[in-house]
Amino acid sequence: ATWCKPCVDMMPSLEKVYESYAEKGVVVMGISIDEGKDRVKKIRKFVDKVGVSYPVFSDAAGTPAWHTLGIKAIPALFLIDQGRQIVTQWLGSVDHKVVEKEIQKHLR
């Protein structure tokens, strides 16, 4: 969410993870829960301003991804394996080194 300071603060760290692990098949994506009729335009403008290159999608609170992942608070970060199973999840801010350590564990 563009209005969520902890979410915004994590974006540069997620960009580092994206850049470091893309060639190893790790996919990083953001899901914004901004609402309103102009949300897609607002999100695109924000992503350009922040300078992240991983894809960011729009999915307002109460819609499919929100329910499927069981999100109760943001930021929420999920590590999903190739079998589409959630293997780790974090709620709140998390250091990218913690995320990288968990990714490395699952890449073996």
Q: What is the DSSP string of 12-74?
A: HHHHHHHHHHGGGT----EEE---STTHHHHHHHHHHHHT--S-EEE--TTSHHHHHTT--SS
Q: What pLDDT is attached to residue 62?
A: 60
**2-9: average pLDDT:** 88
Give the pLDDT score at 96: 86
Classify domain 5-107 at the CATH topology level: Glutaredoxin (3.40.30)
pLDDT digits (tens, 9 = 90+) for 53-100: 999 888 766 667 777 777 888 888 888 888 888 888 998 888 889 999
The domain locations on the chain are 5-107
